[in-house]
Amino acid sequence: MNIMLRRALREYNGLRHQLDKNLLGENGHRVAEELKKFNRGEPCWIAKEKAETSRQARIELISTQVPILHTAEDSKTIFQWLDHWKQFCKDFKLKEEVDFEAAKEKALTRPKGFDWVIYTPSGLTSREVLDRLCSPQFTVSESVSVQSYSLERQPDKARLILCRPNIEPDNDWRVSANKMVATATPFLDCRECYILEGFYYSLTKKHLNIRGWTRCPRSRASKRKVADVSWYETSEKFCANYDGPDNDDPHGGGRETVILIP
């Protein structure tokens, strides 16, 4: 075997070893997704410098939770969701602890852009959400026990929580969990994301987080495990996974929240 071929094989083996290591690592499912894009000839691993510059330019402009007056015409989506929540509670035997009709009037003075509503009954755990609301409708994959993650809001009382109407995470919050936590902005936690997925599927028979994933920045199982959620099209399953706290991949991000009924 000549020297040039030997060198080429050595370099190839090194690359293959590194790829195997990355695929088996903490963010292996992300590496796999980017590898598929590469194999299809699509753009992958967007340059962090470029993404970081654009995100930092936006971060000063976001989190404008100033209530404004909406008309009933502007509120068709949130009214539809509030109506469906009443039926969802009946279908899935959830405690109906808020007045969904009265909430419509309160929703008329919500901040601009927050048109989706998530109802969180008191005492409902993350484990129960996956078992009762998600698993009966679609396949669920759980990387670590969902009960091990902390929550942004304790399930001590019922709440109505608003977020923006996005299939993917908020464009303005495509930053790492640590950068989100460094702000005072509230985000959906893992329990609320599981509820949102179960509700959204019951309403539309479609899924969220198909091209990206939602990070739940304050839902942490340990220092290196930040809860995230996504719908994995290839395997047709909802993934209750985790992410690294410093991961700045722009495919992931947070969902900012407004508390309609605290």
Would you say residue 58 lies in a domain? no
**Cα–Cα distance between 90 and 83 in angstroms, integer?**
12
Closest CA to 34 of 25, 46, 20: 46
Would you say residue 38 lies in a domain? no
Q: Which two tokens stand for residue 224?
A: 């290196």
Cα 254 to Cα 6, 57, 73, 205, distances in angstroms: 47, 17, 28, 23
Would you say residue 161 lies in a domain? yes
Closest CA to 188 of 128, 140, 135, 126: 126
Would you say residue 16 lies in a domain? no
Would you say residue 55 lies in a domain? no
Number of C-beta neighbours around residue 2 at 10 A: 7
**Per-residue pLDDT of the chain in tens (262 residues, 90 and over written 9):** 555 445 545 555 655 666 676 677 667 777 777 777 767 666 776 655 555 555 554 554 456 678 889 999 999 999 999 999 999 999 999 999 999 999 999 999 999 999 999 999 999 999 999 999 999 999 999 999 999 999 999 999 999 999 999 999 999 999 999 999 999 999 999 999 999 999 999 999 999 999 999 999 999 998 789 999 999 999 999 999 999 999 999 999 999 999 999 8
pLDDT score of 52:
53
**pTM of the predicted model, to two decimals?**
0.77
Would you say residue 54 lies in a domain? no
Give the chain's domain count. 1
Strands of the sheet with 237-243, listed across from one edge: 140-142, 237-243, 225-232, 213-222, 252-253
Would you say residue 44 lies in a domain? no
pLDDT score of 29:
73
Residues spanned by the domain of 109? 67-261
Would you say residue 6 lies in a domain? no
